[in-house]
Amino acid sequence: MKWKYPLSDIDLGRAEEREVLKVLQSGWLSTGPVTDRFERAFSDFLGGGEAIAVSNGTAALHLALAALGLKEGDEVILPSFTFVATANAVLYTGAKPVFADILGHHNLNISPTEIENRISKRTKAILVMHYGGYPCDMGAALKIAKRYGLPVIEDAAHAPGSEYRGKRCGAVGTLGCFSFFSNKNLVTGEGGLVFTKDRTLAERVRTMRSHGMKALSWDKFRGHLSSYDIELLGYNYRITEVQSALGLVQLKKLERNNRKRRRLVGVYRREFEDSSMIFLPFVDFEGPYSYHLFPILIRSGSQVRAASLRDQLIRSLKDWGIQASIHYPPVHLFTLYREQFGYKTGMLPMTEEVSQRVMTLPLHPRMNATDVEQITQKVKEIVKRWS
Ligand SMILES: Cc1ncc(COP(=O)(O)O)c(C=O)c1O
């Protein structure tokens, strides 16, 4: 399928080609000096701390949770309105995902009141996700966390460059996790990163990234170590130098591209202002965010009718070469989660209702205002036939 307007697109150019070529010519491809540079640059970007680049965002989440020592019998509170990776990472540790509802139509992020209501003796961590790059209420989440002595992990996969009260998302909680998958704001194909200001946690993440070894092959190559011991179960979640080289260039472009996305969101908002069928979440969010997704909610009728209209709209847009998607079906209603934990419909009313009404429209820095006008025009034309 060749989309006229794909949901996301990558801004890759000569600089990326040059830096990747340099890596290939260097003869060292696995985690090494370019990754060191990428980690330092990302840490600076987040205001200083420990940045550990890994193979993907899911691995970043798994390592963050594993570094906190989560295990069977523990519980983690998180949103169900997220990509399944957020919750799967909890399952990898053996802990139980305890889902909290979102705030509402205007704000699709986890509700702090819901977080607090779900805290039990078994709760060991709070895991929040900044939907579309719009920051969660971190002030409230951190207050609750402090009251119960819990760490807060930020799934900042959507939020590189987003700011919460002057701090970068991913650097506000105990640990922050990023994804550099191909549809993200900063792209390395596959890739991810864990950020923390806690040196002990950082050391654990770094060690667990590579089988529990304290040193990498790169260190051995440089003659820094010849043997090793394993104190901690680790994984192979290493990133390659090719990915890190892409990451370094992409990081330089990130703020400019986020500003482009912000302008495009401005056009979307203006174009949909008068639509009685389309509701826009996060309209009062205006600031330095990553604007990763552009979600809309179908306003009309019951949830069931909204879902059917939404699916029709996605199909009709496809005929016009416009790619739309659903971010997200609720995780707690996936078969695996229903069967393993007995989760049922009705458990998270707002998440369930929004997931029936939500869809996302194309948003990426290679678009321009005219593209947005064309897309909104088509959407408005189709939804007009409903009334
Ligand atoms: C919210 C969220 N969390 C985690 C991930 C997982 O990242 P990755 O695909 O790099 O493993 C994604 C990626 O799509 C995501 O959107």
- pLDDT tens for 77-108 read 999 999 999 999 999 999 999 999 999 999 99
Q: From ligand 1's centre to the CA of 154, what distance in Å?
A: 12
Answer for the pair 357, 307: CB distance below 8 angstroms, yes or no.
yes
The mean of the pLDDT values for the chain is 96
pLDDT tens figures, 292-334: 999 999 997 888 999 999 999 999 999 999 999 999 999 999 9
State the catalytic residues.
184
pLDDT over 90, % of the chain = 93
**pLDDT tens, residue by residue, 130-155:** 999 999 999 999 999 999 999 999 99
What pLDDT is stored for residue 326 in this prediction? 98
pLDDT in tens, 203-262: 999 999 999 998 777 787 887 777 788 989 999 999 999 999 999 999 999 999 999 999
Helices 349-357 and 303-319, axial angle in degrees (round to 10): 30
**CA 81 to ligand 1 center in whole angstroms:** 13
Residue 191 CA: nearest ligand 1 atom is: 10
* pLDDT tens by residue, 270-297: 999 999 999 999 999 999 999 999 999 9
Atom of ligand 1 nearest to the CA of 61: 4
Over range 37-42, report the average pLDDT.
98
What are the Cα distances from residue 35, in Å, to 73, 233, 254? 36, 23, 18
Name the residue at shortest CA distance from atom 8 of ligand 1: 57
259: which 2 tokens? 């500003």
State the pLDDT at residue 271.
Answer: 98
How many angstroms separate the Cα of 247 from the Cα of each of 11, 24, 40, 153, 368? 12, 15, 12, 22, 24
Please give the distance, rounded to the nearest whole angstrom, from the Cα atom of residue 127 to the centre of ligand 1: 14
**Local confidence band at 17 (pLDDT 50, 70, 90 cut-offs):** very high
Q: Output the ligand 1 site: residues, CB below 6 A.
A: 56-58, 82-83, 85-86, 129, 155, 157-158, 179, 181, 192
